[in-house]
Amino acid sequence: MDKNINRFKKGTNYVNIASAVTRDQLTSINHISDEYLNLNCVKFIPASGAATRMFEDLYKYLEDKIDTEYINKFFNELENITFYEDIKDFIENENIDKNTIDGRVKIIDYILNDNLNYGNLPKALIKMNSYKNYSTTPIDEHIYEGEKYLNNNRLNFHFTISKDHEDLFNEYIKKILNGRDDIKVSYSFQKPKTDTLAVDMDNNPFLLDDGSILYRPGGHGALIENLNDIDGDIIFIKNIDNVCHRDYIEDTINSKKKLASVGYAFKEKIDGYIKALLSDDYDIDEIKEFINKDLNITFKGEMTKDKALSFLNRPLRVCGVVKNQGEPGGGPFVVYNGEYTDLQICEKSEIDLNNKEQHEKFSASEFFNPVDLVCFVKDHRGEKFNLLEYVNEERYFISKKTYKGKDIKALEHPGLWNGAMDRWNTLFVEVPLSTFNPVKKVNDLLRPCRRSVVEKEVGSLAEVAASKDI
């Protein structure tokens, strides 16, 4: 506990950016190969988040009844919302006028509370894409997408979910996998042991009414424990709400294959260098150049055999990046890491923006992290890395929260792809902006990319579960 108290007193432990990643640090590829399918692939989807924040503007309207531009857009285009078919009968049967305060309150209440109950569901179960006769949830779309680039004979998906949503998740999965023996879906919860201490504004442990200390979930970084438990050679990672409509999915499928192809080729080369070093049959200058130019690791000291092995014998991640469009979040940077610099994904909250130099480097970022990763988690012998050995526990930030109306401070580890993968080898590959389709707020569901270009006759995944061609 003393260690965590000291962290609160010290404040956020900022990373030290050397520069934003430019095109010079990106990895390019000339062709896409299916060789990676020789290995066991798993798709890992963090999906524990509730949809409450997504509907915050609707909740606010229930409180203040003020017609903001955001609220007006929602109701003006209500017929285009992805879940409109689920509220249409209610609106028509009750003869509700969506342009009155009373009508808007009734519609919002129907959406968020006891009927549609979206305010209490996880994002995973919110309908996000519309087709001719049905709409799909992110679970449907992640499985549909995964079928296009995972092993055909063993489609393997793993979701991290909230314990509160376990029954709902199982019920939905059972329905959509009826007759699909080729698909395996597993799930896990964020482990309670990864919860972090909360303190009051004087940095004393925050005590609950019963005298016990308040602990809070430690953020996405805690999911490295779940990732470490996955049995697979290659793990694809993508957030639950980043789901592409099937009419626009070609770029997404190609980019996933591209990332996997890049990783497979690099992994083969890295393993070859490791075996050469271990057999004392190596060219240290060639290996040094690979580490420096291909892995973008700049080491200040002498590149010895042992030092080369320490750089090479690590998990490998290939990260898709998109052009920076001003989205909130993190991006790819070159970071000072003691005696060397390497490539890292850094969250905005990890960077001291009060430092003029650091602020300028952050602002210069050309690329954004959409959370699109392909991870190679086995060593040159085919044995699983213990991913917990590659975490940087000193990458954390302090945030202000409230608990039952009282101000508290929380210690959070940045995303799974930040401090939890700090000591991985990293490659950045540019992917099309069309592959990045997050749903952060409800009006994101009104974007044209959520609806079919041409109306289709096919049913939802649940309706055509027995078909292999969906």
How confident is the model at residue 455, as a pLDDT? 46
Neighbours of 402 (CB within 10 A): 8
d(CA 142, CA 47): 11
169: left (phi over 0), alpha (psi -120 to 50) or beta: alpha
Which pLDDT value is given to residue 456? Answer: 40
* Statement to judge: residues 29 and 112 lie in one domain: no
> Sign (positive/negative) of CA torsion 345, 349, 352, 357?
positive
Q: How much is the pLDDT for 216?
A: 81
Query: Distance between CA atoms of 145 and 150, rounded to whole angstroms?
Result: 9
Whether residues 309 and 422 share a domain: the answer is yes
Domain boundary residue, one of 120, 144, 161: 120
Identify the residue whose tokens are 């497979």: 264
Distance, in Å, from the CA atom of 142 to the CA atom of 215, rounded to the nearest integer, reads: 32
**Residue 246, in any domain of the structure:** yes
Q: What pLDDT, on the 0 to 100 scale, is given for residue 434? A: 94
Q: Has residue 61 been placed in a domain?
A: yes
CA angle 426, 391, 412 (to 5 degrees): 110
What pLDDT, on a 0 to 100 scale, did the predictor assign at position 316? 98
Q: Which residues contact 191 (CB under 8 A, 6 or more apart)?
A: 222, 225, 226
Residue 263 lies in a domain: yes
Say whether both 297 and 442 belong to one domain.
yes
Cα–Cα distance between 292 and 136 in angstroms, integer?
A: 45
Mark whether 60 and 33 lie in a shared domain. no
Q: Is there a single domain that holds both residue 302 and residue 251?
A: yes
Question: Which structural domain, as residue segments, surrounds residue 105?
Answer: 55-120
pLDDT of residue 469: 35
Using the 3D structure, point to which of 120, 146, 166 is the last residue of a domain: 120
pLDDT at residue number 138 = 97
Residues 411, 378, single domain; the answer is yes
User: In this structure, are 81 and 224 located in the same domain?
Assistant: no
Burial class (CB in 10 A: 0-12, 13-18, 19+), 32: middle
105 and 79 fall within a common domain: yes
Structure tokens at 21: 């990643």
Domain end residue (candidates: 72, 102, 120):
120
Where do we find the tokens 């940087």?
Answer: 392
The domain tally of the chain equals 2
Same domain, 15 and 60: no
CA distance linking residue 297 with residue 315, whole number of Å: 14
DSSP output for 68-111: -HHHHHHHHTGGGSTTTHHHHHHHHHTT--TTSHHHHHHHHHHH
pLDDT of residue 411: 84
- Asked whether residue 434 is domain-assigned, the answer is yes
From the list 260, 246, 255, the residue with the least C-alpha distance to 322 is 255
11 within domain boundaries = yes
Is 459 within a domain?
no
Angstrom distance (rounded) from CA 249 to CA 143? 13
- Measure the CA–CA gap between 95 and 214, rounded to whole angstroms: 48
Are residue 107 and residue 197 in the same domain, yes or no? no
The pLDDT averaged over each successive group of 10 residues in the chain (470 residues) is: 80 92 93 94 92 93 96 97 96 97 97 93 96 94 97 94 94 93 94 83 90 81 91 96 94 97 97 98 97 96 97 98 83 95 93 94 93 97 97 86 86 83 97 94 94 57 38
Does 167 map to a domain?
A: no
Strands across the sheet containing 406-412? 215-216, 196-199, 406-412, 397-403
Q: Are residues 335 and 392 in the same domain?
A: yes
Q: What's residue 13's pLDDT?
A: 85
The DSSP output letter for 376 is: E
Do 105 and 244 lie in a common domain? no
Inside any domain, residue 262: yes
